[in-house]
Structures are given as structure tokens and as C-alpha cells.
């Protein structure tokens, strides 16, 4: 299987090249990414626990899904594709904010991403892909915030950053 490439960008989100995903994470090169947040009508957030065999952040809790756009793919198209691949459903998404973050991991890799935050609403149970996701749950947004403060090691780096800085943009 051919390794997926990520879109390298400058700080203005202008594409400046392509690079294999693992290489971009090894070299900490800024690239485009997205994070999807799905809420239900009770203002609960659908969290996923990353599969335990993932090469970074295995077994950690995070937002509903996240990944990288493919060349020529819009943020919404990418989010919709990956939501289906990871969680087994689609729902309309809207773009909210974007931000740049850099997070080194214990395994020598570094996430350096311009992350686009996408939000949607869904009321059903997902059909998770066990290659990507170990578990999932609905959790009230305020409870998520408190649990991140009390148990930060249970959550991914980008998820904690989004909650810390952009909490008010997540709720629909």
C-alpha cells in the first residue's frame, strides 16, 4: 500500500508541497490537518479512543475523528471521508476555526499542523472501524473539560489544545 502524503503548508495555509506522512512527522514539517467534533442535541461530544496500535497517541481519548486532507480535497470533503472511514457515518459538517500547533511525542515524532476544526451534529451510535478506533462514548462538554484538567494524560495533545484555547467554538 502506497504511503499517504500530507499537504505541506506555510503559516497562511498555502500549499508548498507534498511529503509522505511519516516523514513529515519525523521532520516536524508544518502540514494541513483537520479535527472533527460531533455533538448531539444534548450538547454531548462524541469522543473516540484511538486504536492501541496507532504509531502515535495510541489508546488516548480525542475528538470524534481527525486526519489529513488529500491533495485537491476541501476540509469538509476530507472530514466527511474520514468520519465515514473511522466512525462509520456521515453528517453535515461546518468549518469553525483553524490554528497551528506543534506537539512532540515520546517516540521521536512531532505533530506540526495547521489544524482546521470542523463541527457537526449526530444522534445515533457510530459503527467504529477497529483499525482506527478502540472505543467511543458520548460525554457532556463540561465533563470533558473537567476530565482533561484532572486526567490530561488520557487525552491527545491536539484535543487538549483545542479545549484550552478554542472551547467556545466547539459547541454548535
Q: Which residues are catalytic?
A: 66, 113
Handedness of CA 127, 128, 134, 137 (dihedral sign): negative
CB 58 within 8 A of CB 135: no
For residue 88, give every residue at least 6 positions away whose Cβ sits within 8 Å of its Cβ, in sequence order, or none. Answer: 126, 127, 128, 129
Asked if residue 47 lies in contact with residue 64, where contact means CB atoms within 8 angstroms, the answer is yes
What is the DSSP pairing of strand 44-50 with strand 133-140?
A: antiparallel
Residues 96/165, Cβ–Cβ less than 8 Å: no
Instruction: Tell me the three state secondary structure of residue 102.
Output: strand
Amino acid at each position: 500500500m502506497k504511503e499517504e502524503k500530507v499537504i505541506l503548508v506555510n503559516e497562511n495555509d498555502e500549499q508548498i508541497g507534498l511529503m509522505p506522512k511519516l516523514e513529515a512527522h519525523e521532520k516536524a514539517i508544518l502540514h494541513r490537518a483537520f479535527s472533527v467534533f460531533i455533538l448531539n442535541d444534548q450538547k454531548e461530544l462524541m469522543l473516540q479512543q484511538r486504536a492501541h496500535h496507532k504509531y502515535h497517541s495510541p489508546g488516548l481519548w480525542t475528538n470524534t475523528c481527525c486526519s489529513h486532507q488529500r491533495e485537491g480535497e476541501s476540509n469538509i470533503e476530507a472530514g466527511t471521508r474520514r468520519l465515514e472511514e473511522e466512525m462509520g457515518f456521515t453528517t453535515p459538517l461546518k468549518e469553525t476555526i483553524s490554528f497551528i500547533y506543534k506537539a512532540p511525542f515520546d517516540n521521536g515524532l512531532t505533530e506540526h499542523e495547521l489544524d482546521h476544526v470542523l463541527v457537526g451534529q449526530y444522534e445515533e451510535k457510530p459503527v467504529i472501524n477497529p483499525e482506527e478506533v478502540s472505543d467511543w462514548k458520548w460525554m457532556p462538554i463540561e465533563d470533558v473539560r473537567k476530565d482533561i484538567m484532572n486526567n490530561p494524560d488520557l487525552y491527545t495533545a491536539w484535543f487538549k489544545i483545542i479545549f484550552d484555547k478554542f472551547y467556545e467554538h466547539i459547541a454548535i
